[in-house]
Amino acid sequence: MKASLFALLLGTQTLLGCVVAGPAPAEGEDACGAAELQGLIGQPETVLATMRFSQVVRVIGPGMAVTMDYSPDRLNIDVGENGLISRLWCG
pLDDT in tens, 23-76: 444 555 799 999 999 999 999 999 999 999 999 999 999 999 999 999 999 999
Q: What is the mean pLDDT of residues 10-34?
A: 55
Asked, for residue 7, whether it belongs to a domain, the answer is: no
Contacts of residue 56, Cβ cutoff 8 Å, sequence gap at least 6: 71, 73, 74, 75
The pTM of this model reads 0.68
Domain that holds residue 36: 30-91
Asked, for residue 41, whether it belongs to a domain, the answer is: yes
Going by C-alpha positions, the residue among 75, 86, 76 that lies closest to residue 45 is 86
Asked, for residue 24, whether it belongs to a domain, the answer is: no
Asked, for residue 42, whether it belongs to a domain, the answer is: yes
Instruction: Identify whether the C-beta of residue 31 lies closer than 8 Å to the C-beta of residue 73.
Output: yes
Distances (CA, A) of 10 to 1, 3, 20, 83: 14, 10, 18, 54
Domain count, the chain: 1
Asked, for residue 10, whether it belongs to a domain, the answer is: no
Asked, for residue 80, whether it belongs to a domain, the answer is: yes
Asked, for residue 21, whether it belongs to a domain, the answer is: no
Q: If residue 58 lies in a helix (H) or strand (E), which one and from where to where?
A: strand 57-60
Asked, for residue 15, whether it belongs to a domain, the answer is: no
pLDDT at residue 28 in the model: 56
CATH number, domain at 50?
3.30.10.10
pLDDT at residue 29 in the model: 75
